[in-house]
Amino acid sequence: MQELAAGKYVEKKSRFYTHIYNITDIAEVELILKSHRSLYKKANHHCYAYIFIDKNKQVADKYHDDGEVGHPGKVLLEVLKSNKLNHHLIVVSRIFGGIKLGVGGVSKAFKEAANATMLYYKNQNR
């Protein structure tokens, strides 16, 4: 596993910490999530998505909302797909800032956080 990029996005006092990883095995996902839970202990949610193609060329993609409203995990999976990233995991840990964002606001904030970090990653690799 290799961390490729990390970023922070703030929306109405909630902080969204985004990390993008290159993964070589699906088993790495749980190790990374465990690390995020430890790193961001105050986070209410650790949402993620990954796309992995195994040696038999079978595609495994998954997302998890971690109890967050608005299906942010699905939004994260779409970010990976739209950027054509295979063998990648994106994790966004949200620390609640005291102001509810609503279903649409949550989805939008996760998407903005993921896209900002993705843009940073792509600009690094030009």
* The pLDDT of residue 77: 97
> How far apart, in Å, are the Cα atoms of 103 and each of 42, 47, 64, 86?
21, 15, 16, 28
Give the integer Cα–Cα distance in Å for 18 and 25. Answer: 20
Percentages helix, strand, coil for the chain, rounded to the nearest 5?
A: 35, 35, 30
* The pLDDT of residue 95: 97
* The pLDDT of residue 24: 86
- Tell me the residue ranges of DSSP E strands in 12-80: 14-22, 45-53, 59-64
Q: Which domains does the chain have, with CATH numbers?
A: 2-124 (3.30.230.30)
* The pLDDT of residue 125: 73
Task: Give every CB contact of residue 38 below 8 A, 6+ residues apart in sequence.
Answer: none
pLDDT tens sequence for the chain (126 residues): 789 999 999 999 999 999 999 998 888 999 999 999 999 999 999 999 999 988 888 888 999 999 999 899 999 999 999 999 989 999 999 999 999 999 999 999 999 999 999 999 888 876
* The pLDDT of residue 1: 72
* The pLDDT of residue 54: 82
* The pLDDT of residue 72: 96
